[in-house]
Structure 1
Amino acid sequence: MTTAQFMESFLLLLVLLNPFIFSVYVLDLFRGLGLRALTGVLFRAYMISLCLFLLFAWFGEQIFDDVLQVRFLAFLIFGGITFLIIGIRLTLNLGSAIESKNLHPEEAAGSIAMPFIIGPGTISASVVAGSRLGTLNGSLAIILAMATALGSLILLKVVYDWVQNRQERYVRRYVEVAGRVTAMFTGSFAVDMILKGIERWLELPG
């Protein structure tokens, strides 16, 4: 393992966990929860996700084949369809991806973890980190990426609350623009996931 390989695995997962895009997904929670409550929800969601990522880093795609008895390609295609629906909702302004109304914090943590953190992209990145860096260093890269993403989200919440109280109209404009950009990115990423799954399925022998 080299430092370059470690940084590549760390940055790949961090990019997939992009806190700026993620903040648009959970905008209703940003608006409806205080800093302490939101921090608790995000912490639980990230801990759930971290446990699964570490399992995939240690055991790879064998978890799908031997334990879940489901092809990883099926997970890839279904994950793409899920994100495509989310992208369409954001594009048509049909509401936030997660509604905070009448949602218990424990339920919110599960809704955040799947599919916004745990998805084909992040699971694949975890598998690559484990196979490329080894169990220990792969786990370290995943933990650092998750901690950086979580810290960035909490910082964004602090900035959001501070700006919201002073420049509300600018916040609304940012949310509108960021939502549209996020919708385009999400939709494109979703279609790419579906196509990759289909391409790999067609390449299977017999």
Structure 2
Amino acid sequence: MDLFKSAVLMFVLLNPFLVIVYLVDMLETLEKKQFAKTLIQGAMIASAVFCCFAIVGDFIFSGIVQAEFASFQIFGGVVFLLIGLQFVFRGPTAIEILRGGSKGLAGAIAMPVLIGPGTIGASVIIGKRHEAIYASAIILIAVFTSVLIMLLLKALHDYVRPRNEPLITTYIGVAGRIMALYVGTVAVDMIMQGVRVWANMF
């Protein structure tokens, strides 16, 4: 049951149904094979990072960074909040600004689309709950389940768009607003969690 809860936590934070909105420009311009290749490469980069944080996350924060995990939660929450605000005022095109140019798309998908404060924080939590091998397996299952769903959404998009483009535009607009609300809510919650941890130290 704990393994299932951890997998669900990671999957919910990855949220392929909303992340696909981040990738709307790539969704519309790349062919299926190129989109799949780029997405899988980005997922592999993200998975490696998540597994590292699951296995040695505490050491990274306490030994290398020499900072409390609460500090990361507060900073990550601020970054998340800025992304949410960009989405509110600019819509899905905001991610193009955050990702930069079209070079190195796999790395740009990995960060900031997949690798974010929420998913890194979840990786550390999963690493605390389970042994390294189980934590890594949970992360890989969650990431590649998300990738599979996004590839199915790409196929659905390519099928529906020529026949009913207004439906796709409506979905992107609605999902973009949901994304902004979701990201903003998670951001504020991360900041408050970090502040509470810091407050309890005194």
- Is the Cα–Cα contact under 8 Å of residues 28 and 98 in structure 1 kept in the other structure? no
Q: Identity, % of aligned pairs?
A: 38
Q: Which residue of 2 aligns with 1:103?
A: 102
- Is the Cα–Cα contact under 8 Å of residues 29 and 98 in structure 1 kept in the other structure? no
Q: Which residue of 1 aligns with 2:78?
A: 81
Is the counterpart of residue 149 in structure 1 residue 146 in structure 2? yes
Is the counterpart of residue 47 in structure 1 residue 44 in structure 2? yes
- TM-superposed CA distance for 1:58, in Å, is 1.4
Q: Which residue of 2 aligns with 1:192?
A: 189
Within 1, Cα distance between the matches of 2:175 and 2:155?
A: 18
**What code does the residue aligned with 2:134 have?**
N
Within 2, Cα distance between the matches of 1:89 and 1:17?
A: 19
Within 1, Cα distance between the matches of 2:106 and 2:70?
A: 26
TM-score, L = length of structure 2: 0.90
How many residues in Structure 1 have an aligned counterpart in Structure 2? 200
Could you report, residue by residue, the CA deviation over 1:49-69 in whole angstroms, capped at 9, with x for unpaired residues?
A: 111111122123211221233
Task: Name the structure with the higher helix share.
Answer: 2
**What code does the residue aligned with 1:72 have?**
F
Is the counterpart of residue 128 in structure 1 residue 125 in structure 2? yes
Change (3 A) 1:109 1:69: farther
Change (3 A) 1:61 1:69: same
Within 2, Cα distance between the matches of 1:31 and 1:70?
A: 41
Q: Which residue of 1 aligns with 2:11?
A: 14
Q: Which runs of 4+ in 1 moved over 3 A?
A: none
Q: Which residue of 1 aligns with 2:134?
A: 137
Q: Which runs of 5+ in 1 are unaligned?
A: none
Q: Which runs of 5+ in 2 are unaligned?
A: none
Matched position secondary structure for 2:40: helix
Could you report, residue by residue, the CA deviation over 1:22-51 in whole angstroms, capped at 9, with x for unpaired residues?
A: 011221221222222221221121111111
Within 2, Cα distance between the matches of 1:75 and 1:110?
A: 22
- Is the Cα–Cα contact under 8 Å of residues 61 and 68 in structure 2 kept in the other structure? yes
- Over the aligned positions, Cα root-mean-square deviation in angstroms equals 1.8
- Is the Cα–Cα contact under 8 Å of residues 46 and 110 in structure 2 kept in the other structure? yes
2:163 to 163, 166, 169: 166
TM-score, L = length of structure 1: 0.89
Range with bigger deviation, 188-197 or 92-101: 92-101
Within 2, Cα distance between the matches of 1:75 and 1:114?
A: 16
Within 2, Cα distance between the matches of 1:196 and 1:24?
A: 27
Matched position secondary structure for 2:93: coil
- TM-superposed CA distance for 1:137, in Å, is 1.4
